[in-house]
Amino acid sequence: MSNPNKPLLPPPVPAPDLSVSLGRLRLPNPILVASGTFGYGREMVGFVALDRLGGIVPKTITQLPRRGNVPWRTVETSAGLLNSIGLDNDGIEAFLKNQLPWLKQCGAPVIVSIAGATQPEFVQMADQLEGVPGIAALELNISCPNVSHGIDLGTDPEMCRRVVAGVRGVTKIPVIAKLTPNVTDIVAIAKGAQDGGADAITLINTCQGIAVDWRRRRPMLGNVIGGLSGPAIKPIALRCVYQVRQALDIPIVGVGGILSIDDCMEFFVTGASAVQIGTANFADPRASMNLLAALPGALAEMNATRMTDLIGSLMAGAGAPAGELQKAAGNQTHAS
Amino acid sequence: MHTPSPPVVCYADAARCIVADIVSHRLVAENTYRLRIDCPEIAASALPGQFVMLRIPERVDPLLARPLAVYDTFTAADTEPSNGDTPTEARRRYADFIYTVQGKFTTALKELAPGAQLLVWGPLGNGFSVPTVDHLLLVAGGIGQTALLALGRECLGNKLYGSSLRSVPRAKRVTFCWGARHGGLFGDVTDFRDAGMDVRLATLDGSVGHRGTVVDLLDELAQTEDLLHPQSIHIACCGPEGMMAAVARWSAARKISCDVSLEAPMACGIGICFTCVAKIRDAFGEWDYRRTCIEGPVFNAMAIDW
Ligand SMILES: Cc1cc2nc3c(=O)[nH]c(=O)nc-3n(C[C@H](O)[C@H](O)[C@H](O)COP(=O)(O)OP(=O)(O)OC[C@H]3O[C@@H](n4cnc5c(N)ncnc54)[C@H](O)[C@@H]3O)c2cc1C
Ligand SMILES: Cc1cc2nc3c(=O)[nH]c(=O)nc-3n(C[C@H](O)[C@H](O)[C@H](O)COP(=O)(O)O)c2cc1C
Ligand code: FES
């Protein structure tokens, strides 16, 4: 006999389709972890079910080993983190030998982040990675604010195009260009990446800044200038995603200041096909898992059954705050 | 270009990330508080010299967690008056921390009352491992005593941390030398005395103990001690960098082995951000920046490029 007090269960909701495509790259879900904020993946085994992630972007590698910048390397600022790590890494050879063998069996798509000091060095590194099993895509870090090479590849549209085109010329692996927000016209740089043949672009790397200890009359970072990340930069990242989405037709990976599921949803609606979690991994090592767990509920709230229902669905014109809309809707129901 | 030495394989696999309740929180010295949290997942496995990362959940300012050394851990039976029953659950449940108020995080932390929650991950870092010696010398400066109490307790057979199956070398004697700017900064010194350590204090202003630094305490000790057998002595040290460097020089000059626990600034504590690096030398004398959160924070003093 059925129990009359038993609440009626809502009809079962089919699990939403979380998969997304970034050009030729297909990912099981849109929650990725950002380069430089997740080590080489192995460090996170105690906190994260790596095989559930949409993708892992390990710390950027360079052709030759780099010791990185002198400490202090990070300093916390208001709702943000300023860093000048300086691409501390053991070089591409050591990565292939010591990190990739473990990474490629961890169950998540591995997007290898590379930084060349010059265009030919980018091409050389991509060539070396071509044919190596276990690499889902390359992310070209043409935006690191911590290494100065004289020419800044990431701030000139034509240089950006040549880097991407050069890499595309030597590899079949999907290519994502990661751009810096420290430019006057982000759309022009993104256009360069698109023209070069990028499958997608990642927006954004950190915003340049400094922090000062006035009592000692000294800069806080060993390198003086660093890159700002964390909640403080989210509006800048969203603005970049917005502008590029309005102007171009290229898949975007959004990154910058994401802490909560609301932050993720803002990026999706604005036009990001996937997001990367950066500084949030430091604030809570389980952040990526928490966001992944919250995603289906947020999709359901929007009556979306797949990610494509959501991506870039931002409407023109400013609306009343959601609370106001709900109130208005409530009043209507009441009146009818 | 430099050739990096092969990676040292150490990860925070045993660490757990939990939300823990504050159980007690009190002032123990000037600007210095003692915090107890309920965190069986961490307390049960924390070893001497390990630390945790602590954060006030949901806050974006401060945004990141801060490292604090695990000062001591307790079972429920340690902290509650016994009713005569043998405790059924002997696992360590509470972890204690002692901290000085420095900046953003510690200023916010000191306002939190019992019942408030903290996001905590740990235990982290390698902790101290002590050779078998007759005489263990613990040398602390400032708030550095927090990394040393548990080590002294274990070496005197006073307490055993982590698994009950661990075997720990015993020392015949443990001397604890502690230096601070003035006497008001010494909190809960009785923990060290009650554990059976020989406690010697130094203050820069002479308000308590010897007027001077911990190195003066070491010199004083050297006059009364036979240092002909340096291999029967080991030093474990934690404090401000300049003080640790001085202790490292002192012990190197006397061929006494010395481990130090570095207090590098940290953003993650688990090896993913590369903030916490120190210049560490390998067997060939070549230095590289090493992550002190996973490869340390305890290093042999000789390996550090001060
Ligand atoms: C392994 C380990 C164990 C530790 N254990 C303990 C412990 O048991 N007890 C304890 O009290 N402390 C301990 N510390 C130190 C503790 O982590 C710091 O005191 C704490 O992070 C301070 O945080 P805060 O937000 O209060 O201060 P912050 O606001 O971070 O500032 C702390 C101090 O550093 C200065 N500072 C901040 N950023 C910079 C910069 N970029 N350059 C120069 N100076 C800067 C500030 O001016 C201030 O004086 C430990 C540290 C480590 C690494
Ligand atoms: C400590 C630190 C190190 C970083 N290292 C890299 C890196 O090696 N390569 C890279 O492409 N981006 C690097 N970044 C940038 C992040 O991947 C990300 O683009 C940026 O932090 C913004 O996202 P967030 O606000 O979520 O952190 C680093 C960021 C931080 C905080
Ligand atoms: S604190 Fe992040 S790597 Fe050590």
Same domain, B152 and B105: no
Same domain, B80 and B184: no
**Range of the structural domain that residue B20 is part of:** 16-124
Same domain, B48 and B150: no
Q: What is the pTM of this model?
A: 0.94
Q: At B81, phi and psi to the nearest 5? A: -60, 135
Same domain, B184 and B199: yes
First to last CA, chain A: 38
In tens, the pLDDT along A311-323 reads: 999 998 887 665 5
Same domain, B247 and B147: yes
In a domain, B2, yes or no: no
| Pair A174, A139: CB distance under 8 Å | no
Query: What is the predicted pLDDT for the residue at A320?
Result: 62
Which CATH number covers residue B249? 3.40.50.80
Please list, in sequence order, all residues whose beta carbon lies within 8 angstroms of the beta carbon of residue B167, skipping any fewer than 6 positions away.
Answer: none
Closest CA to A116 of A137, A93, A91: A91
Q: Which ligand neighbours the alpha carbon of B274 most closely? A: 3
Report the C-alpha gap between B269 and B156 in whole angstroms: 30
* Count of helix runs (H) and strand runs (E) in chain B: 8, 16
Report the C-alpha gap between B229 and B135 in whole angstroms: 11
Q: Is A133 exposed, middle or buried (0-12, 13-18, 19+ CB in 10 A)?
A: exposed
Query: What is the predicted pLDDT for the residue at A326?
Result: 52
Ligand 1, pocket-test mutation among B55, B71, B106, most atoms within 8 A of CB:
B106
The verdict on a CB contact (< 8 Å) between A43 and B11 is: yes
Please list, in sequence order, all residues whose beta carbon lies within 8 angstroms of the beta carbon of residue B15, skipping any fewer than 6 positions away.
Answer: A46, A47, B42, B121, B122, B123, B124, B270
In a domain, B6, yes or no: no
Confirm or reject: Cβ of B53 under 6 Å from ligand 3. no
Alpha carbon of residue B201 to chain centroid: 18
Same domain, B103 and B22: yes
In a domain, B9, yes or no: no
Query: What is the predicted pLDDT for the residue at A333?
Result: 39
**What residues of B are in contact with residue A286 (Cβ under 8 Å)?**
17
| Pair B52, B72: CB distance under 8 Å | no
Please check the confidence at residue B30 and state whether its pLDDT lies above 90: yes
| Pair B293, B266: CB distance under 8 Å | yes
Report the C-alpha gap between A178 and A154 in whole angstroms: 9
Mean pLDDT on B89-111: 93
Closest CA to B151 of B164, B162, B165: B162
Please list, in sequence order, all residues whose beta carbon lies within 8 angstroms of the beta carbon of residue B254, skipping any fewer than 6 positions away.
Answer: B222, B227, B230
In the residue annotation, A106 being an active-site residue is answered as no
Same domain, B50 and B106: yes
Same domain, B102 and B52: yes
In a domain, B130, yes or no: no
In a domain, B78, yes or no: yes
Same domain, B252 and B298: no
Q: What per-residue string of b and e applies to A226-243 under the rule 16 or more CB within 10 Å gives b?
A: bbbbbbbbbebbbbbbbb
Same domain, B254 and B183: yes
In a domain, B7, yes or no: no
Report the C-alpha gap between B275 and A83 in whole angstroms: 8
Which CATH number covers residue B273? 2.10.240
In a domain, B189, yes or no: yes
| Pair A33, A288: CB distance under 8 Å | yes
Lowest mean pLDDT of A36-45, A175-184, A239-248, B72-81, name the range: B72-81
Instruction: Band the pLDDT of B231: cuts 50, 70, 90.
Output: confident
How close is the nearest chain B Cα to the Cα of A229, in Å? 11
Same domain, B228 and B169: yes
The verdict on a CB contact (< 8 Å) between B1 and A45 is: no
What dotted CATH number matches A20-335? 3.20.20.70
Which residue from B12, B16, B277 is facing A43, i.e. has the nearest CB?
B12
In tens, the pLDDT along B151-200 reads: 999 999 999 999 888 999 999 999 999 999 999 999 999 999 999 999 99
Q: Of B124, B143, B175, which one is at a domain's C-terminal end?
A: B124
The share of chain B scoring above pLDDT 70, in percent, equals 93
Same domain, B157 and B193: yes
The verdict on a CB contact (< 8 Å) between A73 and B274 is: yes
